[in-house]
Amino acid sequence: MLVSLSGIGPRTLHRCAELAAELDRRKVPLSLLFAPQLAGTPAVTEWVRTRVRRGDGLLLHGYDHRIAPAHRPHLGRKAEFAALPAHEARLRLIAAQAAFDRAGLTADGFAPPRWLASRGTLEALRGQGFRLCADVGAIHDLETGAVHRARVQDFANHNQRTETVRCFALVLASARAARRGGLVRLGIDAMDLTRPGLRQALFDAVDVALENRAFGTTYQSLTASPRGTTRTSVPSGARLVNNP
């Protein structure tokens, strides 16, 4: 089971810390999706460093999340790396890696904003020495070419009218995947932690997966483990993330 957290910033840091503490009690590591350009304060970066030292995973989460006018939108895919050719993706990755270096961080994994990465981005990632890329439908091992197929389940594009349904679907998808021995991928944006229903649904999804013999890991550990290649199924019909 992989649990990722994005949207880490000054206004959400206390909620991120609360989430991390709850998962620590469950012995489930977080995978932190972090864009240092958007961190805001040194305290945020220091918290990320501390969590990584304690065993959480870290993935580069884009550069500044801006969409170039020339690529807005491409078939409705509105995200920083969704439609970039390789040379433009490479320039953004170089800038993002430099920001990571200045922050005293290192990451060999990449999770694009909104989980959307173009083929050019995958090519650029290989050229920049990244080991993995996690997109909306799979985790790409950029060294071996292996693809671990499992759709990330989160609350993207939710609204209050559908919140209850999405919460139920998240827990159901987690239970189904875990019972089948599949890979459970859960994700939450830190802003969603302000909504008690979404927060509780995430914990319920984690708990039901653990009850069905899933165990927590990070994206880096998954691609490093031969066992990771066998746990790639995901239930059909439980789709909380819509391709933009």
Domain extent, residue 31, equals 2-230
Q: Say whether pTM exceeds 0.85.
A: yes
Number of domains in the chain: 1
Give the residue from 128, 116, 59 showing the smallest Cα distance to 87. 128
Return the bridge partners of 4, or none.
31, 187
In a domain, residue 238? The reply is no
Whose structure tokens read 């805001």?
40
CA distance 57 to 187: 13
Sheet holding 185-189, edge to edge: 147-149, 138-141, 132-134, 109-110, 57-60, 30-34, 2-6, 185-189
- % of the chain with per-residue pLDDT over 90: 76
CA distance 128 to 158: 34
The model's pLDDT over 69-89, given as tens digits with 9 standing for 90+, comes to 655 544 455 889 999 999 999
In a domain, residue 170? The reply is yes
Give pLDDT, residue 13: 96
In this structure, what CATH number is given to the domain that contains residue 125?
A: 3.20.20.370
